[in-house]
Amino acid sequence: MATNKRGSQALIQSMINQGIKYVFGIPGAKVDQLFEDLQYSDDPRYPS
| Owning domain of residue 38 | 1-48
What is the reported pLDDT for 1?
63
Mind listing the pLDDT tens digit for each residue in 1-48?
Answer: 668 888 899 999 999 999 999 988 887 778 888 888 888 888 888 887
What is the reported pLDDT for 16?
93
What is the reported pLDDT for 19?
94
Q: Which of 38, 40, 32 is nearest to 16 (CA)?
A: 38
Number of folded domains that form the chain: 1
